Amino acid sequence: MAAPKRQALGRGLSALLKETENVNSAKDQNAEKLVGAIAEIETDLIVENPYQPRTNFDPEAIEELSISIRELGVIQPITVRKMTEGKFQIISGERRFRASKLAGLKSIPAYIRLADDQSMLEMALVENIQREELDAIEIALSYQRLIEECDLTQEAMSERVGKKRSTVTNYLRLLKLQPIIQAGLRDKMISMGHARAIVNVEDADDQLEIYEQTIAKELSVRQVEEAVRRLKEKSQKSTDTSAKSNPLPEKYGEIRDVLSQHFDTQVALNRSSRGKGKIVIPFKNDSDFERILDLLTP
């Protein structure tokens, strides 16, 4: 189901730079206006990071992401560092940047960082989270940035923002939703309750099917929770039946355990009686995906 195209995130770069033209450090006047802000930056002004640890980008995955971006826009802004001569260097989000260029975007929403703004960024993000007008995905992205860019644990972050750790976890789990569902939550097509139920579904296609049914049939949160429960029961029965008819040989079980340890995630290995099967390596978010890719890349 196609969703309406979203308006671009962030304020125009020209307006922001007029106020922060001479800001290059967190110590400079007006630095607080730049740190933590989202600006719509022209792709021609963005340069790739020469120290990017990943050198191989799957063209098919980039193409799939570009299709999503054409339809929904950039759900999660990239992060850039302000440089001289009006240029910006990518800190994180190179896949999104490449996919955006492939999608034909002339600009992309980005968080702007300065060379020494770590403590200021943390304060800006915490203050930003306290704003009442933020939607659930914006809050989740702010939590994610505090963890990844400010090197905070979920426990430390919950203390900073004055929220229970379980609340923080529930918001972060929303980032596991498919992009179209995240956009639907931001556009109030579904509620936080609906989203929290749908995120319990791991399969992307099943997520989208329940999301579409929720909108088409105007399902309540209770009804969505029931649909998710039935789906998981059906899936569990199918798994149990398959496991009984085609038990995994011991040596494959050992291989699965080695892979799980290597990738630091619960790898699934399925094999039929004819030897056909698949290996599934789950990931939590974009950063976790890139971590796994680094392990896969020689």
Percentage of the residues of the chain whose pLDDT score is greater than 70? 76
> DSSP code of 55?
-
The predicted pLDDT at position 148 comes to: 81
User: What is the arrangement of strands in the sheet containing 107-113, beginning at the earlier edge strand?
Assistant: 11-12, 38-42, 107-113, 78-82, 88-92, 46-47
Average pLDDT over residues 166-177: 91
Going along the chain from its start, the domains and CATH numbers come out as 1-116 (3.90.1530.30), 190-243 (no CATH), 247-288 (no CATH)
The predicted pLDDT at position 80 comes to: 85
What sign does the CA torsion over 118, 156, 164, 186 have? Answer: positive
The predicted pLDDT at position 134 comes to: 79
What sign does the CA torsion over 243, 249, 250, 255 have? Answer: negative
The predicted pLDDT at position 244 comes to: 53
* Residue with the two structure tokens 């960082």: 113
The model carries a pTM of 0.54
Distance CA 221, CA 237 (A): 24
DSSP structure string for 64-122:
HHHHHHHHH--SS-EEEEE-GGG-EEEEE-HHHHHHHHHTT-SEEEEEEE-TT-HHHHH
Average pLDDT over residues 68-82: 87
Residue 95 near residue 53 (C-beta atoms within 8 A):
no
Beta partners for residue 280, in sequence order: 268
Structure tokens at 252: 């494959």
The predicted pLDDT at position 25 comes to: 65
> DSSP code of 279?
E
- 185-194, pLDDT tens digit by residue? 988 999 999 9
Residue 7 near residue 28 (C-beta atoms within 8 A):
no
Nearest 5°: phi and psi at 234?
-65, -45
The DSSP bridge pattern shows strands 277-280 and 268-271 to be antiparallel
Tell me: pLDDT of 246 over 70.
no
94 catalytic? Reply is yes
On average, the pLDDT of the chain sits at: 80
Banded model confidence at residue 256, pLDDT cuts 50, 70, 90: confident
* Residue with the two structure tokens 């011991």: 250
Average pLDDT over residues 57-69: 87
Integer CA distances (angstroms), 289 to 91, 105, 264, 282, in order: 16, 24, 12, 8
Tell me: pLDDT of 3 over 50.
no
Average pLDDT over residues 94-106: 92
Average pLDDT over residues 267-272: 78
The predicted pLDDT at position 2 comes to: 44
Distance CA 10, CA 6 (A): 12
The predicted pLDDT at position 197 comes to: 94
- 46-57, pLDDT tens digit by residue? 988 765 555 567
Banded model confidence at residue 298, pLDDT cuts 50, 70, 90: low
The predicted pLDDT at position 81 comes to: 81
Average pLDDT over residues 99-126: 80
List CB contacts of 268: < 8 A, sequence separation 6 or more. 256, 279, 280, 282
The residue annotated as part of the active site, out of 48, 85, 94, 226, is 94
Structure tokens at 32: 């607080």
Average pLDDT over residues 205-225: 94
